[in-house]
């Protein structure tokens, strides 16, 4: 953000605003919830995803904007807007998005769920049986662990945890001690489930649910006997959750991080969500307590945390209201033969193997590690870990390998946002087992996805030698997200790539000057320069009378030098297709600037997470897979890799499955214009509907369950 904006000749900025782009992305996700062709319980999930995304948006992006506004509100961003102006636009658009969310929830989703026998029993609709059930649940499960706090000089406003569910209660009358407090705060314990299933005989519906918010709304007044309850309002405060670690001062990253994590729950407030029936006086009181103004307040006509409704799909056994289950397939080399007889080392020694998740199974990755653990000839296992989850079979295998005496090295990224505590816990487990655990390079997040195995084998001459195997991926070693995110993984024993991976681990765990890698592009050293060079190479081919073609797929495109090079390529006549799931700062289709650039976003059943780069290169067709988006942080402040696909068959698979299928999509694709607005593609009259995710499931999945009859 410290660069001055690049300008067009007419004085129009060449770059679009990042924060506004994030909100535009969430509008596209919300459109999936609003799409009547999407199964009903999946529509509810999309609604929840928007809320989850907005939580992080406020915790990180808006909190950063607020800090800039305090420092210098007139500072001009890359898109030509001042920080203060951006903050105003973000507030307006975020309020409009939230209003659209709750309008859809109340006017469309809740009635549609009720028609399917799925009902949220809110306080205003309780009959006598519902009220009795709620009171009994409250007295049995909730009341014993609540701590009501009345506000008076001896009991000031409590420290409210980030994103916790709370109730502000307006009271009148005197209590047993003669005190006349008009306000009390009650925080809902986080240990309590937010959704309660109501027995059918009480609900009157096949699937009755009560939210904890409704139970407390209807019963919390019993905490204040003899007092008049004038109002009960749910509220939720979102706080700045960005962690600050001073790279120059830190001496023990893990201990410094633990100290920061303990304070994350109490960062500066950035958003206040509260019931839309909240009184003006209570609203003003809460704003004062959190140091917020009206632009930071989001009145909502429903649960203040829609994310909690994500659990509904798991509680309701209605397959016809969900996406059809599927059994992921396996790549042909691994599919051959019985599972118990597969020797992945023999397979990978013969040929590279490409796996495309989630259409193809994550199991080969687990099997690769499992075989390495159980094979006495494997002497070393090295792996980078960014996100892997609290429960991880892969991490348990690494612990087991260390206990067996193998050389296990894990480069564990402690600063993986919102997974810091999980990774700290895994670090302790691994160290206890005897693994070498390092936390990468201070100041550079380790985001590369690498697995490296060294095995002692007998060569043709009968002598033993050490043979290296590697897995490189675009996504995290996380079995759960591997079922939800699209990613590629490459198994290889290619000597040059394995040499590069070995060198990367040497960098991450040791010291020494950067050594040039043979095949792999690496940030912060060569990835940015090589991307720019590949773009300029296409320009050179066009100027020499040849063809120029670039297709690039990523989560976000923000880095200004890459964007500038793409503009130059467009002006030279290079045809460019960009598949950018999230925020894109490049302005496509602008006459004289980006006429030859088309930007599309695919939003559907799976989260598009793969990064793939294609350069025609005068017919050589260079294809790279990567862990990195084209963003400043990935190209300059992270350790990332882009690795080539050299096998002709696998290269064509990446081009077809990872790029052209998405370019042919007319069901999940959105086309972006030069102002950052998106239009969803729909099949033309008589044209067959073509969904990326449906096509690839048909190509790669082992089996897709037929849709149950409704």
Residues annotated within a binding site for ATP: 53, 485, 581, 609
Gap between the Cα atoms of 389 and 380, Å rounded? 23
Q: Which phi and psi angles does 670 have, rounded to 5°?
A: -120, 135
Q: Are 602 and 579 in contact (CB under 8 A)?
A: yes
Residue with tokens 């909100």: 23
Q: Using alpha carbons, select from 559, 684, 662, 653 the residue that is nearest to residue 601.
A: 662
Stretch (H or E) spanning 51: helix 40-56
Residue with tokens 């290889």: 492
Which residues are paired to 153 by β-bridges?
none
Residue with tokens 């068959």: 649
Q: Pull the structure tokens for residue 587.
A: 């302005």
Report in angstroms the alpha-carbon separations of 259 from 56, 151, 411, 577. 21, 30, 21, 45
Q: Which residues are annotated as a binding site?
A: 53, 387, 417, 485, 581, 609
- Count CB-CB contacts under 10 A for residue 230: 14
Report in angstroms the alpha-carbon separations of 509 from 295, 427, 440, 512. 47, 15, 7, 10
Gap between the Cα atoms of 611 and 7, Å rounded? 29
Question: Which are the contacts of 197, defined by CB distance < 8 A and separation ≥ 6?
Answer: 207, 208, 209, 315
- The reply to whether 296 belongs to the active site is no
Gap between the Cα atoms of 303 and 296, Å rounded? 18
Per-residue b or e along 97-115, where b marks 16 or more CB atoms closer than 10 Å to that residue's CB: bbebbbebbeeebbeebee
Say how many residues make up the chain. 710
Pairing verdict, β 297-300 and 269-275: parallel
Q: Are 435 and 626 in contact (CB under 8 A)?
A: no
Gap between the Cα atoms of 282 and 247, Å rounded? 42
Q: Which residues are annotated as a binding site for Mg(2+)?
A: 387, 417
Gap between the Cα atoms of 506 and 523, Å rounded? 15
Gap between the Cα atoms of 534 and 672, Å rounded? 24
Indicate if the alpha-carbon torsion angle 435, 441, 442, 446 is positive or negative: negative
SS3 content of the chain, % helix, strand, coil (to 5): 40, 25, 35
What DSSP letter does each residue of 630-647 carry, written as one string? BSHHHHHSEEEEEEE--S
Gap between the Cα atoms of 675 and 586, Å rounded? 10
Q: Which of 447, 478, 528, 541 is catalytic?
A: 447
Residue with tokens 């700062």: 585
Report in angstroms the alpha-carbon separations of 659 from 163, 608, 610, 700. 39, 12, 10, 15
Tally: H helices and E strands in the chain: 23, 29
What DSSP letter does each residue of 577-618 carry, written as one string? EEEESS-B-B-TT-TTTSTTEEEEEE-SSSEE--EEEEE-GG
Question: Which residues are tagged catalytic?
Answer: 447
């Amino acid at each position: 953000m410290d660069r001055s904006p690049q300008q067009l000749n007419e004085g129009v900025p060449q770059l679009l605003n990042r924060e506004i782009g994030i909100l535009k992305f969430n509008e596209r996700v919300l459109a999936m919830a609003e799409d009547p062709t999407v199964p009903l319980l999946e529509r509810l999930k999309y609604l929840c995803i928007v809320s989850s995304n907005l939580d992080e948006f406020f915790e990180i992006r808006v909190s950063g904007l607020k800090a800039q506004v305090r420092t210098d509100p007139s500072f001009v961003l890359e898109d030509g807007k001042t920080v203060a102006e951006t903050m105003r636009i973000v507030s307006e658009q975020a309020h409009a998005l939230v209003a659209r969310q709750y309008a859809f929830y109340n006017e469309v989703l809740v009635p549609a769920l009720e028609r399917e026998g799925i009902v949220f029993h809110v306080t205003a609709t309780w009959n006598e049986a519902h009220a009795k059930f709620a009171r009994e649940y409250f007295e049995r499960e909730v009341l014993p662990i609540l701590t009501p706090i009345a506000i008076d000089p001896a009991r000031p406003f409590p420290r409210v945890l980030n994103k916790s569910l709370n109730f502000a209660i307006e009271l009148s009358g005197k209590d047993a001690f003669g005190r006349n407090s008009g306000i009390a705060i009650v925080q809902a314990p986080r240990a309590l489930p937010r959704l309660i299933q109501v027995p059918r005989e009480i609900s009157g519906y096949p699937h009755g649910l009560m939210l904890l918010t409704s139970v407390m709304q209807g019963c919390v007044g019993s905490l204040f006997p003899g007092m008049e309850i004038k109002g009960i309002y749910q509220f939720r405060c979102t706080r700045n959750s960005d962690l600050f670690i001073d790279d120059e001062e830190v001496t023990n990253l893990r201990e410094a991080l633990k100290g920061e994590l303990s304070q994350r729950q109490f960062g500066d407030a950035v958003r206040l969500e509260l019931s839309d029936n909240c009184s003006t006086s209570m609203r003003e009181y809460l704003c004062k307590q959190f140091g917020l103004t009206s632009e930071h307040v989001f009145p909502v006509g429903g649960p203040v945390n829609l994310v909690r409704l994500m659990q509904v799909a798991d509680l309701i056994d209605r397959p016809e209201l969900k996406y059809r289950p599927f059994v992921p397939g396996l790549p042909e080399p691994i599919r051959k033969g019985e599972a118990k007889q597969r020797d992945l080392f023999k397979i990978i020694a013969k040929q590279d193997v490409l796996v495309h998740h989630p259409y193809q199974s994550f199991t080969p990755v687990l099997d690769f590690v499992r075989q390495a653990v159980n094979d006495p000839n494997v002497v070393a296992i090295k792996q980078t870990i960014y996100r892997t989850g609290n429960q991880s079979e892969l991490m348990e295998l690494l612990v087991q390998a260390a206990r067996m005496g193998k050389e296990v090295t894990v480069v564990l990224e402690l600063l993986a946002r919102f997974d810091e505590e999980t990774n700290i816990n895994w670090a302790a487990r691994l160290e206890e087992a005897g693994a070498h655990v390092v936390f990468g390079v201070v100041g550079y997040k380790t985001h590369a996805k690498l697995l490296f195995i060294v095995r002692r084998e007998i060569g043709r001459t009968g002598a033993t030698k050490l043979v290296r195997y590697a897995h490189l991926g675009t996504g995290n070693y996380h079995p759960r997200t591997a079922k939800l995110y699209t990613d590629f993984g490459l198994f290889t024993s290619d000597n040059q790539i394995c040499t590069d991976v070995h060198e990367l681990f040497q960098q991450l765990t040791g010291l020494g000057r950067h050594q040039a890698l043979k095949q792999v592009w690496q940030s912060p050293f060569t990835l940015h320069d090589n991307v720019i060079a590949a773009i300029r190479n296409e320009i050179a081919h066009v100027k020499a009378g040849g063809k120029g073609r670039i297709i690039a797929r990523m989560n976000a495109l923000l880095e200004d030098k890459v964007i500038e090079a793409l503009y130059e390529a467009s002006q030279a006549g290079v045809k460019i297709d960009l598949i950018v799931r999230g925020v894109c700062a490049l302005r496509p289709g602008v006459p004289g600037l980006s006429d030859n650039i088309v930007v599309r976003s695919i939003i559907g059943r799976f989260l598009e997470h793969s990064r793939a780069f294609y350069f025609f290169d005068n017919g050589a067709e260079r294809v790279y897979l990567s862990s990195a988006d084209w963003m400043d942080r990935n190209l300059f402040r992270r350790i990332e890799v882009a690795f080539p696909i050299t096998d002709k068959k696998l290269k064509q698979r990446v081009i077809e499955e990872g790029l052209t299928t998405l370019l042919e999509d007319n069901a999940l694709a959105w086309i972006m214009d030069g102002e950052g607005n998106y239009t969803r593609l729909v099949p033309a009259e008589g044209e067959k509907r073509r969904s990326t995710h449906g096509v690839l499931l048909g190509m790669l999945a082992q089996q897709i369950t037929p849709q149950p009859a409704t």
